[in-house]
Chain A
Amino acid sequence: MTRLHLKDFWRYSKQQMEKRNEQRVLVCGGPGCLARGSQAVYEALLDASGRVGGTGTVVEHAAHMVGCHGLCDQGPLVIIEPQGTFYTHVNPEMAPRIYHETLRGGRVVEDFLYSSGTGRRIARYADIPFYQRQQKIALRNVGAVDPEDINDYVALGGYRAAAKALEDLSPEDVIGWVKDSQLRGRGGAGFPTGRKWEVCAQAPGENRYVIANGDEGDPGAFMDRTIMEGDPHSLLEGMMIGAYAVGASEGFIYVREEYPLAVERLKGAIGQAESLGLLGDDILGIPGFCFNLSVRRGGGAFVCGEATALINSLEGRLGEPRGSYVVPAVRGYNQQPTALNNVETFCVIPEIINKGPAWFAAIGSEASRGTKTFSLVGRAVHIGLIEVPMGMSLREIIYDVGGGIEDGRTFKAVQTGGPSGGCLSAEYLDLPVDFDALEEAGSMMGSGGLIVMDETTCMVDVARYFLSFLRDESCGQCVPCREGLFQLTAIFDRIVSGEGQESDLAAVEELAVAMQEGSLCGLGQSASNPVLSTLRHFRGEYTAHIREKCCPAGVCRALTAYVIDVERCRACGRCLEVCPPQCIAVSQGVYTIDREACTRCGACSAACPFAAISREGCVQ
């Protein structure tokens, strides 16, 4: 490929876009679908369509492995465009019918379609409630574009925003547009992106840098992974526009080490963009506009998601946050002005340039404009990746998009913001999802994990889970975070083992506040949020653990017991075989568990063919 000049680019873009109306078969290659075997489905489709000599050439129809389409619990997914036909739970045996009946015959295979709760079959994904309420900006191409083919991205209008910015807008204009769009950073804290870029552009420095934070470490969040794996060029284009705006000629994408596919896809995308003249020196033939981009792997440290820790790690130092009060936009990488944004933030930029700031600012709520991606996980019926306008209520997200709580159980809490966020109870279901509303309620937007919990979840256990996660991940640099987490986990360990005391809650609150006020970085300052929010909204559960020595949800081991339901028990003896401490006794055909000896491992319950053994809370 030759490096394109602006004029050639527009011609090339037009050519590619015209090809888009052709029929395409998209096989979801998101993490969920891949894990369920979608690669084999793709291969089977190629086989069915008569690939030639194993080279992957498809005779008539273009089959592509694409990024996450969103509805992970229904995977593996196969989508036929432009019709939007949506097949769920696809296995390789279904491939010949998809090929012959749908692709060649133009008929929908009824049996393969999505089935709603009421058993109604829905042919097009756009008509499925899960998708109906969504609006995709950051995820606009994910699940539609072949992430390994720059032509496909260009066919979807890719790099037109970058070309437009270079041709029609000055760097100041770009910053002005981003400011007018009122875009706030999608990494968690929600700082206005335009202002950050302006500070960076105006700060004194010899060089400027653009960095994308792809160190997505929140448990329960996989939005950035999905974007980097499913639509890497969007990120590249957003960064390129950012580099133009702030005057940077070098940039980095810092990717979590656990995402090797993202690293591979991004490196591939960078190579393709360079060879087309969209990255490197004199981009699109414009003398002097150079932007070199490279990918760096993280080392497996949650704290490196914090901006200054990320920069330290990038510089080959220990990935610990910097205590300095000077922001990276002024003094960041190599002590130079650095525009560091989250992956999702960069991915939104091209659409703002394409459609204008007013278009973006018209979406969402007053203080939080645009859309936000979430990974909706936990106990919801539909689990997956979604993007909704800001300001949508938690109820709409969980019930309309997510389809409610699985197995007909009751909603108990939703956790947002990962280890920096908090748990909100049912009374907050009508809370609009925006940066400020969530923070006021004691939680946080965070990067966008949304974990739905039902009555089988113990909130004390959830708080303890986040504490132990954070204790393992704290860098240990400052006292309040390191020692606070040590102290809090020690107290929580006591509470869940039935040794909690009334005075513990006061100590917990005191320590939690000290961590908020005294910690060096944002992660430490927010590390006690899961504790404080559960204490605020679910205090009763704490007192049950402490006073009654009881775990109402039946989760905390020491406070619960396995009980055999004599009505259901068929005396098959399976539990006896699997019980590690051999604590099940049989007397005249009646099985009982010795509570003292039982380790609550749950092996008996898992092995019982008659579901006669269950774990009970509040038994003491």
Chain B
Amino acid sequence: MMNLYVNDELVQAQQGQTLLLVCEQSGIDVPTLCFHPGLEATGNCRLCSVEIRRSGWEAGATDVVCACLFPAEEDLEVWTDTERVRRLRRLIVEMLWARDPRSPALLALAEKVGVNKQRLNTYGQSRRCILCSTCVRVCGELGADAISMGYRGVDKKVTTPFDRPTEDCIGCGACAHACPVGTIYFHEHGWERQVRRQTFRLLPCSGCGEPCNTSEERIHLSEVLGIPMEEASQCPTCKRRSVGGGMVDIQRR
């Protein structure tokens, strides 16, 4: 255990905990887009930037760090809502918003951080993805690795090889569920599911017989992740009933 200060309040943290976690535990809201509790943090969106001061620094010296990556340390002082931090956050949101001025998720975020008008340059065509890489990390964590971050810089995008349907996609839809701005297409209709631009057929749940998941997902779960086929063929509701455990998701691994 160690002692540190968040917004001038004494809080305790464990070795290895990040500032974001420490803040969360203390009930302090730090906005973030790219952080996902089940995944390794990358610090892509920089929205969780906070101002810190390490013990031993010269008087008045502070720095801005990314809370999802910075580990707690003894006597660290952290401020989550200084003018310096607010200014940075506002500009980050403005820059993201300029990618897709019609995004409801970004509009809400803009309101939250106090941005009320769009003044930056927009892209010729809206870019609905904010490139936080959460979907890619989820897909990788599941072991499917069907999508990746392709290209670089302003041309960067989440893509499958050559932007074509890929047999590595198991149609689980985890990418869509993890996306913080709701950009990834996910739609179910009867026995059909569409994820991104790929269409999958759904198989019935072995318990209730309702449309459940894809055969690709079942095979992946049982062969790659070693989950018994019985369990892999059940919908979350039936699974809870029969196993009593949580659903098969990334946090299970």
Q: Which of A471, A475, A480 contacts B92 (CB 8 A)?
A: A480
Task: Give, as a whole number of angstroms, the nearest-CB distance from A501 to chain B.
Answer: 12
* CB pair B69 A477 closer than 8 Å: no
B43 adjacent to A479 (CB under 8 Å): no
In the assembled complex, the Cα of A264 lies from the Cα of B170 at a distance in Å of 45
Contact B121 A479 (CB under 8 A): no
Q: Mark B26-51, 1 if CB is under 8 A from A, else 0.
A: 00000000000000011111110100
Query: Does B43 lie within 8 Å of A520, measured CB to CB?
Result: yes
Complex: A472 Cα to B70 Cα, angstroms: 29
A301 interfacial by beta-carbon distance below 8 Å: yes
Q: Is the CB of A517 within 8 A of B84?
A: yes
A219 within 8 A of B: no
Task: Render B88-110 as a binary contact track against A, CB cut-off 8 A, 1 for contact.
Answer: 10011001101100000000000
Within 465-502 of A, Cβ neighbours of B (below 8 Å) are at: 471-480, 482-487, 490-491
Interface flags for A308-329 (1: CB within 8 Å of B; 0: not) read: 0000000000100001111000
Measured CB to CB, the nearest residue on chain B to A491 is B121
Residues on the B chain within 8 Å of A471, using CB: 153-154
Residue of A nearest to B123 (CB): A486
In the bound assembly, the distance between CA atoms of A303 and B43 in angstroms comes to 17
Q: Is the CB of A482 within 8 A of B88?
A: no
Interface status of B149 (Cβ within 8 A of chain A): yes
Minimum CB–CB distance for A328 against chain B, Å? 15
B187 contacts partner chain A, Cβ-Cβ < 8 Å? no
Q: Are B91 and A520 within 8 A (Cβ)?
A: no
Which among B43, B88, B99 is the interface contact of A517 at CB below 8 angstroms? B88
A581 to B63, CA, bound (A): 55
| Total interface residues in chain B, CB < 8 Å | 37
Whether the pair B95, A487 counts as a contact (CB closer than 8 A) is yes
**A residues less than 8 Å from B46 (CB atoms):** 478-480, 518-520
Are the CB atoms of A325 and B42 closer together than 8 Å?
Answer: no
Q: Which of chain B's residues have a CB closer than 8 A to the CB of A239?
A: none
Task: Say yes or no: is A511 at the interface (Cβ < 8 Å to chain B).
Answer: yes
Return chain B residues, CB-CB under 8 Å to A480: 46, 88, 91-92, 95
**Distance of A517 from chain B, by nearest CB (Å):** 5
Contacts A483-B98, A517-B84 hold; do A478 and B45 have CB atoms under 8 A apart?
yes
Contact of A514 with B92 in the complex, beta carbons under 8 Å: yes
A475 to B46, CA, bound (A): 15
Q: Does A173 contact B (CB under 8 A)?
A: no
Provided the pairs A301-B152, A478-B46, A479-B44 are in contact, do residues A511 and B91 lie with their beta carbons within 8 angstroms? yes
Within 8 A of B (CB), among A278-335: 301, 303, 318, 323-326
A482 to chain B, nearest CB (A): 6
- Please give me the residue from chain A that is nearest to B41 by CB atom: A323
For B156, give its contact among A323, A476, A487, A514 (CB under 8 Å). A476
Which chain B residues lie closer than 8 Å to A518 at the CB level? 46, 49, 64, 88, 91-92
Chain B 154-166 per-residue mask, 1 if CB under 8 angstroms from chain A, else 0 = 1110000000000
Q: B131 on the interface (CB 8 Å rule)?
A: yes
Find residues 489-536 in chain A having any chain B CB closer than 8 Å to their own CB: 490-491, 507, 510-511, 514, 517-520
- Is A477 touching B44 in the complex (CB atoms < 8 A)? yes
State the Cβ distance, B125 to closest chain A Cβ, in Å: 13
- Asked whether A476 lies within 8 Å of B153 as measured between CB atoms, the reply is yes
A484 to B121, CA, bound (A): 11
Q: How far is the CA of A197 from the CA of B130 in the complex (A)?
A: 39
Q: How far is the CA of A507 from the CA of B95 in the complex (A)?
A: 12
State in angstroms the CA–CA spacing of A484 and B95 once bound together.
7
Q: Are A483 and B99 in contact (CB under 8 A)?
A: yes
Give the chain A neighbours of B130 by CB distance below 8 A: 479
- CA–CA, A515 and B47, complex, Å: 13
Bound form: Cα–Cα A426–B216 in Å: 67
- Residue B120, interface by CB 8 Å: yes
Q: What residues of A have a CB within 8 angstroms of the CB of B149 in the complex?
A: 318, 476-477
Cβ of B240 < 8 Å from any Cβ of A? no
Contacts of B152 in A (CB 8 A): 301, 303, 473-476
The answer to whether A486 and B69 touch across the interface, beta carbons within 8 angstroms, is no
The residue in chain B whose Cβ has the minimal distance to the Cβ of A472 is B153
In the complex, which residue of chain A has the Cβ closest to the Cβ of B68?
Answer: A323
Contacts of A474 in B (CB 8 A): 152-154
Instruction: Say whether B87 faces chain A, with CB atoms less than 8 Å apart.
Output: yes
Cα–Cα distance between A486 and B95 once the two chains are bound (Å): 9
Q: Quick one: closest A residue to B70, CB to CB? A: A325
| Of A318, A325, A486, A511, the contact of B65 (CB 8 Å cutoff) | A325
A486-B154 contact in complex given A325-B65, A510-B91, A514-B92, C-beta closer than 8 Å? yes
Chain B minimum-CB-distance residue to A488? B121
- Which of B43, B70, B121 meets A487, CB within 8 Å? B121
With A and B bound together, what is the CA distance between A474 and B95 in angstroms? 16
- If A473-B153, A486-B121 touch, whether A479 touches B92 (CB-CB below 8 Å) is yes
**Per-position binary interface string of chain A over residues 437-454, scored 1 when its CB falls under 8 Å from any chain B CB and 0 otherwise:** 000000000000000000
Known A-B contacts A325-B65, A517-B49, A517-B88; A482 and B153 likewise in contact (beta carbons under 8 Å): yes
B66 within 8 A of A: yes
- Bound Cα distance A602, B118 (Å): 39
Q: How many Å lie between the Cα of A586 and that of B130 in the bound state? A: 55
Cβ contacts under 8 Å, A475 to chain B: 152-153, 156
* Shortest Cβ gap from B62 to chain A (Å): 11
Cα(A37)–Cα(B72), bound, Å: 59
CA distance A82 to B61 in the complex (A): 55
What's the Cα separation between A471 and B153 when bound, in Å? 7
B43 & A323 in contact (Cβ 8 Å cutoff): yes
Q: How far is the CA of A159 from the CA of B41 in the complex (A)?
A: 44
Interfacial residues of chain A within 122-165, with CB under 8 A of chain B in the complex: none
Q: Nearest Cβ in chain A — how far from B247, in angstroms? A: 30
- Give Cα distance in the complex from A40 to B151, angstroms: 42
B71 CB–A CB distance under 8 Å: yes
Partner pick for B95 among A303, A473, A483, CB 8 A cutoff:
A483
Closest CB-CB distance, B131 to chain A, in whole Å?
A: 7
B residues 119-161 touching A (CB-CB < 8 Å): 119-121, 123, 130-131, 133, 149, 151-156
Select one of A318, A325, A483 contacting B69, CB under 8 A. A325
* A480 to B, closest residue via Cβ: B46
Using Cβ atoms and an 8 Å threshold, which residues of chain B touch A491? 121
A514 to B153, CA, bound (A): 17
* C-alpha spacing A484/B41, complex, angstroms: 22
User: In the complex, what distance in Å separates the CA atom of A145 from the CA atom of B182?
Assistant: 61
> CA of A352 to CA of B164 in the docked complex: distance in angstroms?
56
Q: Which residues of A contact B95 (CB under 8 A)?
A: 479-480, 483-484, 487
B109 to chain A, nearest CB (A): 12
A430 to chain B, nearest CB (A): 28
A479 in contact with B70 (CB, 8 Å): no
- Would you give the 0/1 interface string for B71-92, flagging 1 where the beta carbon is closer than 8 Å to chain A? 1000000000000100110011
Most chain B beta-carbon contacts within 10 A, residue among A471, A482, A483, A520 = A483
A476-B91 in contact given A486-B121, A518-B46 (Cβ < 8 Å) = no
Q: Nearest residue in A to B121 (C-beta to C-beta)?
A: A490
Question: How long is the Cα–Cα vector from A593 to B180 in the complex, in angstroms?
Answer: 56
- Tell me which residues across on chain A come within 8 A of B70, comparing CB atoms: 325
Asked if B154 contacts A482 (CB within 8 A), the reply is yes
* Residues of the A chain whose Cβ atoms lie less than 8 Å from the Cβ of B133: 477
Chain B: which residue is nearest A319 at the CB level? B152
Q: Is the CB of A487 within 8 A of B98?
A: yes
A483 B43 Cβ-Cβ under 8 A: no
Please name 13 further chain A to chain B contacts, defined as beta carbons within 8 Å, in addition to the given A323-B69, A514-B91, sorted by A numbering.
Answer: A323-B41, A325-B71, A477-B133, A478-B44, A479-B47, A479-B131, A480-B46, A480-B95, A482-B154, A483-B95, A520-B43, A520-B46, A520-B66
A-B contact pairs, 9 of them (CB 8 A): A303-B152, A478-B46, A479-B96, A480-B91, A480-B92, A482-B131, A485-B153, A487-B95, A520-B43
Binding site for B on A (CB under 8 A): 301, 303, 318, 323-326, 471-480, 482-487, 490-491, 507, 510-511, 514, 517-520
Top-5 shortest CB links A-B: A323-B43, A476-B156, A483-B95, A490-B121, A514-B91
